[in-house]
Amino acid sequence: MVGTWGEKIKKPIINLPKIATINVHPSLLPKYRGPNPYLEAIRHMEKRSGITFHLMDESFDTGAILLQKEVKIEPNDTGAELRRKITFLAREGICELLKELNEEIIIPVNQDESKSSYFSQIKSDEVMLDFSKSAEEVSAHIRGFHPWAKCFFPYNNHFFIPNPYKLEILENDKELTNNGSVVDKSHKEKSVTVLCGDGKLLKMDGLELYGILGLLTKLYIKYRVKKFNNLTVP
């Protein structure tokens, strides 16, 4: 049985076991094939994810399914919470699968290629936030990348790092239409509220400036961040 293996396994090795070589993939295949299923499921605002035990073939995550188990993705879950839930589910699933293999006949079910999706390794520029997207999409983006990478957004010549656990989506009660506009701020909460592409606001508390300037985040927000200024967005 194989899990979290980052290299392609060739056919001679796949054929070594007498019964089968089984992979454990942390998504509901055929959706979210590839190396980052936790991140992508949250980034694409899925309501559910899960674990799939499947036969291995020479392609990535394409073999026939032996067992699947589902888990709910809560609205504020990050990649860390989803990984923890699926890891627990995998422990249950392994026991269940081994019992079934020993006591029953399991008929593998081919994956439905019409529903398949594959996402490759993330690129360095994907950690930069784009406030032309909806507030929900930006929030999901930040939460999905945690804990593997920090997301950023620029202000003047510096970069802020949002806290994935301190995000709040608000209705827009201002007469602002330019996405990326700073609507509100609070140096005490280390907070900046930004207008997003769907007209809603994303309030980000617990911000930190990138690098050594992180120690000066409160002062920077108090004296340098200006309300109604527009952020530089991609």
C-alpha 86/C-alpha 91 separation (Å) is 9
Q: Which residue has the higher pLDDT, 2 or 136?
A: 136
Digit-coded pLDDT (tens) for 77-128: 999 999 999 999 999 999 999 898 888 889 999 999 999 999 999 999 999 9
Strand order, beta sheet including 48-55: 2-3, 22-25, 48-55, 65-72
State the residue for tokens 């309300």: 227
C-alpha 133/C-alpha 145 separation (Å) is 16
For the chain, the structural domain boundaries read 2-115, 124-223
Helix then strand then coil, in percent of the chain rounded to 5, is 30, 25, 45
CATH architecture of 124-223: Roll (3.10)
* Superfamily (CATH H level) for 2-115: Formyl transferase, N-terminal domain (3.40.50.170)
Digit-coded pLDDT (tens) for 180-234: 999 999 999 999 999 999 999 999 999 999 998 899 999 999 999 998 767 754 4
Q: What percent of the chain has pLDDT over 70?
A: 90
The DSSP bridge pattern shows strands 22-25 and 2-3 to be parallel
* Backbone CA torsion sign across 17, 63, 5, 69: negative
Q: Which residues on adjacent β-strands are paired with residue 24?
A: 3, 53
* Backbone CA torsion sign across 53, 55, 61, 63: negative
Structural contact between residues 21 and 56, judged by C-beta atoms closer than 8 angstroms = yes
